[in-house]
Amino acid sequence: MQLADLYRDVILDHNRQPRNFGELSPADATIEGFNPLCGDRLTLRLRFGDDRIEEIKFDGAGCAISTASASLMTEAVKGKTRAEALALFERIHLLLTDDAAPVDDEELGKLAALSGVREFPARVKCASLCWHTLARALRSSQGQGPAAVSTE
């Protein structure tokens, strides 16, 4: 277990300069994620074109892991269909929680940087908050689920 595994350059970079950070107006879906234990908060805003995520932005306050994960996520899912984005959510969920999950750099691209988190169980919630929020946004924009999500 090494700190450098957790705080890889990609993570540090996306924490310092989060991509797709800010408001999105108008938005087709706005959903909040909250981790009551640590106080991390984020708001995801999405705009869809046909079935694809045309635009996605986030804002809020969180730690480096939470901020970088959200930033990487918005880059990764922009342009994806709902089904593709949900499939990626499942993949990342495994990556974060299952030690045996493969870290396929090519397929995951920059998202592979999140794999270091699984060595730090206390921080898995930080990395997964935005992904759970996204999954809920995608499902609720199809008429399922509540408009807020919590990783506690």
Partner 1 sequence: MNNTVSVLEPARFDVAAVRREFPVLARTIHGHPLAFLDNGASAQRPSAVIAAVDDYERHHHANIHRGVHALSQEATALYENARDRIVPFVNARSRQEIVFVRGTTEAINLVAQSYARPLLRPGDEILITHLEHHANIVPWQMVCDQTGATLVVAPIDERGEVHFEAVEALMSPRTKLLACAHVSNSLGTVLPVHRLVAAAKARGIVTLIDGAQAIPHLPVDVQALDCDFYAFSAHKVFGPTGIGVLYGRESVLERMPPWQGGGDMILTVSFAKTTYNALPYKFEAGTPNISGVVGLGAAIDWLGTLDLEAAHAHESELLAYATEVLEGIEGLRVIGTAADKASLVSFVVAGVHPHDLGTILDQDGIAIRTGHHCAQPVMDFFRVPATARASFAFYNTFEEIDRLGASVARARRLFT
Binding site for partner 1 (CB under 8 A): 1, 3, 6-7, 12, 15-16, 37-41, 61-65, 67, 120, 122-123, 126
By C-beta, is 2 or 144 nearer to partner 1? 2
Shorter beta-carbon distance to partner 1: residue 55 or 119: 119
Q: How far is the CB of 63 from partner 1 (least distance, A)?
A: 4
Q: Closest separation between CB of residue 14 and partner 1, Å?
A: 12
Omega prior to 26 cis, within 30 of 0: yes
CB of 13 to partner 1, least distance (A): 11
Closer residue to partner 1 in complex, CB, 100/122 = 122
Q: Provide the phi-psi class of 109: left if phi over 0, else alpha when psi is between -120 and 50, else beta.
A: left
Give the H or E element holding residue 79.
none
* Distance, CA of 61 to CA of 86 (rounded, Å): 24
Q: Shortest distance, CB of residue 15 to partner 1, whole angstroms?
A: 7
- Strands of 29-35's sheet, edge to edge? 52-61, 40-49, 29-35, 148-150
